[in-house]
Amino acid sequence: MRTRQLGGASTSVPVFGIGTWNMERDDRKRAVDAIRRAVELGMLHVDTAELYGSGQVETLVGEAIAGQRDRIYLVTKVLPRNASYAGTIKACDASLRRLGTERIDCYLLHWRGDLPLGETFRAFERLREQGKIGAWGVSNFDDEDLAEAYRLVGPGKIACNQVLYHLGERTIEHRVVPWCERHGTTVVAYSPLGSRGGFPTSRALSQIARRFGATPRQIALAFLTRHPATFAIPKSAHPAHVDELAGAGAIVLDAATIAEIEAAFPLAPWHGLPTL
């Protein structure tokens, strides 16, 4: 599994992690087993949020990582409605309890709400000083939101921006990815295998996969992480599927193959930050 420096992380983090959105809808034992299998295969970046199942998924993640917490780069998120200064502190403490840990490696604002960003970021810094979080970042921020956040906190603070990014939705490459690369902020792709319509069928992708002895999904994940600042957190609640996801970690695409994929899934004009 390839690793890279992730924002404010003091150590390298695997390029591929495991997402847990909607995992409260899955068979619990199988979901726990899937997370454990991901960790076993080196997908040590485990992402969750207080939103998911109203805390149920954080509890599930806590169960899955029990006994191996020190191996894992653990990420969770605060809801915008809870992101006042005091509310962020309270939400973080609740997440820590559900996760069964004393420290979150990276704590994110799930999306921008009505509360002042300055309050949220001040709380993040306080939590970092207390050792309750290692770093902090944002999610679903476009380049203008990122620029405003940067003006508030300065360089070296915004560890990552977690955004929707898959073959059918590449528009963050226009503005969001370049901004993050310039400012040392990692891009974390959620739903990297597609949203709503699911994973796309493509003759070109299938042909490339055969050449690499891989699956189309593995090729898609390798393509999305071709940028040095980009990570991906595909979700699976099936241990057998996790093996396929982890297999993408060894694939490095050459320039010609990247050009083939870009031609098969052309970059649309910028239309603002994508949403599900």
* Gap between the Cα atoms of 186 and 225, Å rounded: 11
**In-domain check, residue 245:** yes
Q: What is the pLDDT of residues 168-180, one digit of tens each?
A: 999 999 999 999 9
- Identify whether the C-beta of residue 161 lies closer than 8 Å to the C-beta of residue 187: yes
Planar angle of CA 35, 41, 47, nearest 5 degrees: 40
Q: Phi-psi region for residue 259, left (φ > 0), alpha (ψ -120 to 50) or beta?
A: alpha
pLDDT tier for residue 266 given thresholds of 50, 70 and 90: very high
Indicate which CATH number applies to the domain containing 155. 3.20.20.100
**In-domain check, residue 222:** yes
pLDDT for res 169: 94
Q: What range defines the domain where residue 7 resides?
A: 3-264
In Å, how far are 18, 19, 109, 210, 247 from 144, measured between CA atoms?
28, 26, 16, 40, 35
**How much is the mean pLDDT over the chain?**
95
As for how many domains the chain has, the answer is 1
Q: What is the pLDDT of residues 31-76, one digit of tens each?
A: 999 999 999 999 999 999 999 999 999 999 999 999 999 999 999 9
**In-domain check, residue 275:** no
pTM: 0.95
Judge residue 17's burial from the number of C-beta atoms within 10 Å of its C-beta, 0-12 exposed, 13-18 middle, 19 or more buried: buried
Among 52, 73, 165, 190, the one annotated catalytic:
52
Q: What is the pLDDT of residues 81-110, one digit of tens each?
A: 999 999 999 999 999 999 999 999 999 999
pLDDT for res 9: 66
**In-domain check, residue 273:** no
**In-domain check, residue 119:** yes
Q: Give the range among 6-10, 12-16, 107-111, 161-165 with minimum mean pLDDT.
A: 6-10
**In-domain check, residue 172:** yes
Closest listed residue to residue 105, CA positions, set 186, 226, 166: 186
* Gap between the Cα atoms of 225 and 192, Å rounded: 10
**In-domain check, residue 97:** yes
Whether 52 is catalytic is yes
